Amino acid sequence: MSRQIVTRFAPSPTGMLHIGGVRTALFCWLFARKHGGRFILRIEDTDLSRSTDDNIRIIEEGMAWCGLDWDEGPVVGDASQWKGPHGPYRQMQRMDLYKAKIQELLDKNLAYRCRCSREAIEERRKTVEAAGKVFQYNRGLDAGKGCAAAHHDASQPAAIRFRMPESGDIVVPDLIKGDTRFPADSLDDWIIARTGDGPGEIGVPTYNFCVVVDDTHMQVTHVIRGDDHLNNTPKQIPLFAAFGYDLPAFAHVPMILGADGAKLSKRHGATSITEYQAMGLLPSAVRLALARLSWTPKIDGKAVESAEEELLTDEQMIQLFDLADCQKSAARFDMDKLQWLNQKLIQRSTWQELEPHLRPFVMEVSKGAWEAKSDVWKAQAIQCTQKGKSLTDMAEALRFAFERPAAFDEKAVEKFMTPVAKLALRDLAGLTDYSHEGLEAGFNAILERHGLKTKDLAQALRVALCGKPVSPGIYDTLMLVGRDEVLARLERWL
Partner RNA sequence: GGGGCUAUCGUCUAGGGGUCAGGACACCGCCCUUUCACGGCGGUAACACGGGUUCAAAUCCCGUUAGCCCUACCA
Site for RNA in 276-295 (CB under 7 A): 292-294
Cβ 400 to RNA shortest distance, Å = 11
Cβ 379 to RNA shortest distance, Å = 18
Cβ 146 to RNA shortest distance, Å = 11
Cβ 372 to RNA shortest distance, Å = 26
Write out the binding residues for RNA, residues 440-479 only, by CB under 7 A: 453-455, 458-459, 462, 469-475
By CB under 7 A, name the one of 110, 141, 330, 379 that touches RNA.
330
Is the CB of 5 or the CB of 271 nearer to RNA? 271
Site map (CB under 7 A) of RNA, residues 214-233, x = contact: -------------xxxxxx-
Site map (CB under 7 A) of RNA, residues 371-400, x = contact: ----------------xx------------
Write out the binding residues for RNA, residues 336-375 only, by CB under 7 A: 336-337, 339-340, 343-344, 347
Write out the binding residues for RNA, residues 174-193 only, by CB under 7 A: 177-178, 180-183, 186, 190-191
Write out the binding residues for RNA, residues 135-174 only, by CB under 7 A: 135-136, 159
Which of these segments, 23-31, 238-246, 258-266, 368-376, binds RNA (CB under 7 A)?
258-266
Is the CB of 4 or the CB of 420 nearer to RNA? 420
Q: Does 327 bind RNA (CB under 7 A)?
A: yes
What is the number of other CB atoms lying within 10 angstroms of the CB of residue 486?
21
Cβ 292 to RNA shortest distance, Å = 5
Does 302 count as an annotated binding residue?
Answer: no
Which of these segments, 238-246, 251-259, 274-282, 486-494, binds RNA (CB under 7 A)?
251-259
Rg (CA), the chain: 31
Q: Total residues contacting RNA (rule CB under 7 A)? A: 88
Is the CB of 5 or the CB of 475 nearer to RNA? 475
Write out the binding residues for RNA, residues 52-111 only, by CB under 7 A: none
Cβ 62 to RNA shortest distance, Å = 16
Cβ 260 to RNA shortest distance, Å = 9
Known binding positions for ATP = 266
